[in-house]
Amino acid sequence: MSRGRHRRSHTLLTSRSLSRLSLALTVGTAGVAVPLVAAGSAQAAPAPAAAPSVVQQAAPAAAPQAKSGTYTVVAGDTLHGIATAEDVEGGWEALYETNEETIGDDPDLIVPGQELSLAAQAVERGSADRADRTAERAAVTTQAYPDNLDGWIREAMSIMKTHGIPGSYDSIHRNILRESSGNPNAINNWDINAQNGTPSIGLLQVIKPTFDAYHVAGTPHDQYDPVANIVAACNYAADRYGSIDNVFGPY
């Protein structure tokens, strides 16, 4: 009986063996788990490095160019930035002037997707536009006037208006008839001015010192020229009397 009391039961041995096996497996599993996690981390680590590759591939598509000589606006663009990057002649102002119809009234407001023309084409179009405007102004400036007293007065008045010189048609006409009878080649060789070597000449009988002092740029520097004579005389009268309208006799 005493031997039976101290004999280990088969069940107990089996239970303890299983416990030791479980412990070994648990420890073993834990030991394996660590390198598995570490291995997983080591394999995942390079993943963030792939991001720059994606960004680098996307970058060229950020500013698509429709065709040579143009630029397509993308988010964050400014006219100054585009003009600087594309070396636009005349800077952002020239870029805006060329594309004002596309951009609108506010040069600070450009919209992604807008296609802007760059310097080479802009300069050509700008020059063409300026040439058109110059031609229009030239057409107005070279308006034909009849080569007679009426035409001379009207042309002179057009120039006077540009330079802010006062004078009405009737007053100019009245003084011309009194001074020269409408003859642009009239010359006074007998009065005191003639005796002093500066005879009165032309439609409004202007002496050379007065003509030189009050000559208006853009008209011929010639006392006998009817339009130049009228304009210079009216310029003098405006300075001396306020206007040719206030002249009713020798002046």
Domain residue extents for the chain: 63-140, 149-246
Rounded to whole angstroms, how far apart are CA atoms 205 and 211? 10
Cα(37)–Cα(43) distance, integer angstroms:
10
pTM of this prediction exceeds 0.85: no
pLDDT over 60 (residue 12): no
**CA–CA separation, 204 vs 163, rounded Å?**
19
> Is the domain covering 149-246 a CATH 1.10.530.10 domain?
yes
Class of domain 63-140 (CATH, top level): alpha beta
Does pLDDT of 203 surpass 80?
yes
| 3-state SS record for 121-187 | HHHHHHHHHHHHHHHHHHHHHCCCCCCCHHHHHHHHHHHHHHHCCCCCHHHHHHHHHHHCCCCCCCE
- Look at 32 and 70; give whichever has higher pLDDT: 70
Characterize 130-146 residue by residue with b for buried, 16 or more Cβ atoms within 10 angstroms of its Cβ, and e for exposed.
Answer: eeeeeeeeeeeeeeeee
Distances (CA, A) of 81 to 71, 74, 88: 12, 11, 10
Rounded mean pLDDT of 197-215? 97
Q: Average model confidence (pLDDT) for the chain?
A: 77
Q: 132 falls in which pLDDT band (50, 70, 90)?
A: low
- Round to whole Å and give the CA distance between 238 and 231: 10
pLDDT class of 135 with cuts at 50, 70, 90: low
Residue 148 has pLDDT above 90, yes or no: yes
